[in-house]
Amino acid sequence: MTSTFSKSLFIVSLLTLVACGSTGGLVLTPVENIDTTPLKIGELSTKEKQNWGHLDLVSDTIPGMSVDKAYEEIIKNKKGTKVIVAVLDSGMDLSHEDLDGVLWTNKGERAGNNKDDDGNGYVDDIHGYNFLGESYNEQLEYVRMLRLNIGDQATLAKAKAKLDSEYQKALQNKQQYEEILQAVKSADAAVKKQLGKDNYTKQEVAAIQTTDEGMMRNKAVLAQMYGFNETIPEVIEELGDGITYFTEQLNYNLNKDFNGRVIVGDDPYDWNDRNYGNGNPNNRKDDESHGTHVAGIIGAERNNGKGANGVANNVAIMSIRAVPNGDEYDKDIALGIRYAVDNGAKVINGSFGKSFSPKAEWVYDAIKYAAEKGVLFVHAAGNDGADLDDPSNPNFPNDQINNGAEFADNVITVGALDSKYGSTLLASYSNYGKINVDIFAPGTDIYSSYPNNEYEYSPGTSMASPAVAGLAALLFSQHPTLTASQVKKIILASGLPIKTKVVLGGDASKNASLETISVSGKIANAYNALIMASQVTSGKMKL
C-alpha cells in the first residue's frame, strides 16, 4: 500500500483553502495548532464520555472527529442526499428506538410471502440479508482449517501451533477468573456480614478496623477490585462475563470438534453453493450486540433526545448478518459485500477480521467489484496491539497482498484512539502499520445503541471503523458527485497530522509518530473533510 497523502499535500491544501475562501471563511484546522494543544486535566464528564468521539481536539482538548463542529458551522440544517450504508456484521436490533427510523427498506420486496419479489436472488430481504441462518457460535478460522484439513502443510502447522497456544491461554484465563471470582464473592459476603448491610462503599470497606487475618485479606481483595470498577457487584458481573467469554472460546471458538455451520446447511467452502441464509438480519441473542452498536455509531437518529447521535444525519442502514460468535466465513463476507453493492449501498462497514483466510480471493474479488461500482469499504484494523506490516500478524480482509501495492482504491482501514490526547492517544489494543492502516479514529469506550433500546460503552477498532464509515456517508450525502476513491483520499488527506509520538501496543518502551505507523499519519476529522470535499466538488482542489 503506497500513499500519496503527505504533509506537503496537507500544507498545500490548507493554503489553497485559505486563498480560495469559498467556504464562507472556514479553513482547515491549522497544523501548528495541533501539537501545542494542552492536555485535558481531569476525567471526562458523563456528557463528554457519551460524545467524546464527536468533539474537537483544539477547542475541547479531546481527540474526537470534530463532528459537532462540522454540524454547527458547515452542515447546519442541510440534510443532503440519503446514503445507504451496509453494516456487514452480527445482525442488528431492527426495532431499536434509535435505529428504526434509519433502516434501509427494500421497496421491491414484499415482507413475509417467501418470494423473491424483486428478483435479486434473495427472499424476503426487507432490511438486508442474513447469511448465517440460525447459527450463532463458530470456530475460529484456523481451527476450522484444522478440522477440515484445508491448506498446505506449512499453514496447517502454523494453525496447530496457534491453536495449542490459544487453547492453553483460554483455559488458564478461565481458571484464573474463576479463582478471582470465588475470592471476591467470599470477601463480599464477609464484608456484608461485618457491616451488617448488603450495600457498602469503598470508603466503608477501608474504614473497617480489624486484626483478623481473614478480614484483612478480604479487605485487600476488595481494595484491589475497586481499582477495576466502582462497585463490587459490577466487578462480579464483569468477572462472570469473562468466565462466559473464555468458556465460549473453549467450547466453540477453539474446539476442533465443534461445527456451528451444520445449522446453516451449506458448504461454506463451495462458492457455487449459495442457496442459504434468510431475509431476517436481526440479532439472534441479546449479547449479539456488536452490529447494533456499530450501526448506532454510523447513523443513530440525531437529536431525538435518545441515546447517542450517529455521525451521519441522512442514512439508510442495511443490515447484513455475516459475522458469528467466532470467525466469519470468506464466502459470507464476499457475498455480503456483493449484496450491499447490488442493492444500492455507497458505504460498507466491516468491523471484523481474522488472521487466516483460506478463500481470501473471494473477498478480494468482492472488494474489486465494489470499487468498480463506486462503493467504499471501511474496515477495522483489529485489536491485537500489533504491527500489521509484520508478515506474522496478518489481518484479513485487506486491500493488498503480502504488503504489496493496493489492488483497489476503495478501502479504508481504521485504527483506534483513546479519549486522552498525548502519548497514550493510540489505543493500547489498536493494530497499526505504515502499509496496512490508513487512519485513526475514536474507538475506546464509545457510547452507542445496544439491543432492546439500551445503550452501552464499547471499545475497539470495531468502533473506530463505523465512525469513519459515518464520515464517508456524510461526505457522500453532502457531495453526491464524489467518487469512492475521492472520499477515501479526502478522509486521509484532511485528517489532523499528529506529530507527537504515541505508545504502541500499550508498551511504554515502544513509541512512534502516527506518520510512521499509518498511511496518512492522521486522525480523522469531519470538519476538515467537509471543507476539503467542498473544494474538490467546486473544482478548486484536485486530489
Residue with cell 468521539: 53
Residue 10: pLDDT above 60?
no
- pLDDT score recorded for residue 43: 87
Q: For domain 7-33+45-139+259-537, say whether CATH 3.10.20.30 is its number.
A: no
Residue 27: pLDDT above 70?
no
Show the cell assigned to 383.
Answer: 485489536
Mean pLDDT for 350-358 is 97
- pLDDT score recorded for residue 543: 85
- The Cα 388–Cα 503 span in angstroms is 16
For residue 121, give the nearest of 377, 322, 338 by alpha carbon: 338
- The Cα 534–Cα 118 span in angstroms is 37
Three-class secondary structure assignment of 14-33: HHHHHHHCCCCCCCCCCHHH
Show the cell assigned to 179.
Answer: 479463582
Residue 21: pLDDT above 70?
no
pLDDT band at 12 (very low <50, low <70, confident <90, very high): very low
CA distances from 53 to 32, 259, 445, 452 (A): 22, 39, 9, 23
- pLDDT score recorded for residue 162: 97
pLDDT band at 469 (very low <50, low <70, confident <90, very high): very high
For residue 296, give the nearest of 51, 543, 28, 21 by alpha carbon: 51
pLDDT band at 494 (very low <50, low <70, confident <90, very high): very high
Mean pLDDT for 364-369 is 98
pLDDT, tens only, 104-120: 999 999 999 999 999 99
Residue 499: pLDDT above 90?
no
Residue 370: pLDDT above 90?
yes
pLDDT band at 22 (very low <50, low <70, confident <90, very high): very low
Residue 1: pLDDT above 50?
no
Residue 18: pLDDT above 50?
no
Average pLDDT, the chain: 93
- pLDDT score recorded for residue 19: 34
Report the share of the chain in percent with pLDDT over 90.
89
Mean pLDDT for 345-350 is 98
pLDDT band at 33 (very low <50, low <70, confident <90, very high): low
DSSP at 433: -
Cα torsion angle, 517, 518, 520, 526, sign: negative
Tell me how far apart the terminal alpha carbons of the chain are, to the nearest angstrom.
17
Mean pLDDT for 188-203 is 96
- The Cα 267–Cα 253 span in angstroms is 19
- Domain positions in the chain are 7-33+45-139+259-537, 153-253
Show the cell assigned to 134.
Answer: 440460525
pLDDT, tens only, 240-264: 999 999 999 999 999 999 999 999 9
